[in-house]
Amino acid sequence: MLDRQIVHAMRIDGRAGYREIGTVLGVSDQTVARRYRRLRAEAGVRVVGLPNPIRLGHESWMLRLHTAPDMAATLADSLARRSDTAWVSLFSGGTEISTLVRVAAHADRESLLLHKLPRTPRLVSVSAHCLIHHYVGGAVGPDRRDDALTGEQKAALAPEESPDHTPVRLTDGDTALLEVLARDGRAGYAELAAATGWPESTVRRRMRELRRSGAVYYDVEVRPQTFGFLAPVLLWVTVAPARLAAVGAALAGHDEVVFAAATTGATNLVATVICHDMAEFYRYLTERISGLEGVDRVESTPLLRHVKQLGSVRS
């Protein structure tokens, strides 16, 4: 339970100090530090700081790529090393790749989304789906599996934010800052100062500004198996347009759903579902999502492997 509380606390504030977290959880800062180091070493837990595409006015596109079986892993690795991919995963029989690409709204979409894909005759098909509304997960906040802390504990850890509608612009220094945070959201100020060329006082001030404005948020990368969830599945759902908002809101309230968004394309809603096993996923599919009014069709693709889950690729 303590491990889940620590992960939940760092999703609320990825840069909260060990002493601050320990005070909220009723344990020592040494205990928090020791458990976090063990989670990093044994369970792949990592805090990352990420730009908020909603606040920055960037577009998010999900690409579905089908390849020949002998090409999928190579293509996925190549995509994962691109700075504009937020995550890259292999699905189904090892011939399908899904990736989330973030681009500035004014950018040349065709060039970024299609022409810059690695050239290979074994790339069978590509479909692009723009995310037009986020319901849960990522920049819009924790999913319902983050239930390890009480409301009082969450309030004690929540950082102060004061987002408004003023456009946020990132500088060259911010780019360097975010490159470090994508590797380690808890990187020290000395490391961040070295990357940006700023004094530590400037780094601290800019970090506060970016967080308060909502331009940067923190998330925690963790393998689902760590907490016993062995059946992650991506759902592509077709919903009657008049019911899309209602179905999206319903999915955001499901414990099994860790990400959901409305998209363009033949399927107009995408969701990531995590269950303990495929038997539980079957029950979710037949008893919960199938009963939602407006759901016309559901395509499910089991996750084989995250090539890039959050932040930058691990070295």
Quick: pLDDT tens for 279-293: 999 999 999 998 899
Pairing of strands 257-263, 269-275: antiparallel
**Euclidean distance between CA atoms 213 and 181, whole angstroms:** 17
- Residue 165: band (very low, low, confident or very high) from pLDDT cuts 50, 70, 90: low
Who's near 285: CB < 8 A, 6+ residues apart? 298, 300
Tens digit of pLDDT for each residue in 88-141? Answer: 999 977 789 999 988 876 665 665 555 566 566 677 888 889 999 999 987 776
- Residue 33: band (very low, low, confident or very high) from pLDDT cuts 50, 70, 90: very high
What is the percent of the chain where pLDDT is above 70? 89
| Phi then psi dihedrals of residue 193, to 5 deg | -65, -40
- Sequence length of the chain is 315
| Phi then psi dihedrals of residue 41, to 5 deg | -75, -40
Residue labelled with tokens 């995963």: 89
Who's near 110: CB < 8 A, 6+ residues apart? none
Residue 313 has pLDDT above 70, yes or no: no
pLDDT of residue 202: 95
Q: Which residue, among 134, 114, 132, 120, has the nearest Cα to 63 in the 3D structure? A: 114
- pTM across the whole model: 0.83
Q: How many other β-carbons are positioned within 10 Å of the β-carbon of residue 211?
A: 22
Token representation of residue 158: 């929540």
Better-scored residue on pLDDT, 312 or 239: 239
Distances (CA, A) of 188 to 78, 90, 184: 29, 33, 9
pLDDT of residue 41: 87
List of domains in the chain:
225-302 (3.30.70.920)
| Helix/strand/coil for 50 | strand
Tens digit of pLDDT for each residue in 53-72? Answer: 888 888 889 999 988 888 88
Listed as own residue / partner, the contacts of 116-121 with beta carbons closer than 8 Å and 24 or more positions apart are 116/82, 117/65, 117/79, 118/75, 118/78, 118/79, 120/67, 120/71, 120/75
Q: Which residues are bridge partners to 271 per DSSP?
A: 235, 260
Residue 163 has pLDDT above 90, yes or no: no
**Euclidean distance between CA atoms 13 and 218, whole angstroms:** 7
pLDDT of residue 314: 57
Mean pLDDT, the chain, rounded, equals 86
What is the percent of the chain where pLDDT is above 90? 45
Token representation of residue 285: 């599919």
Query: Please, are residues 43 and 62 in contact by the beta-carbon 8 Å criterion?
Result: no
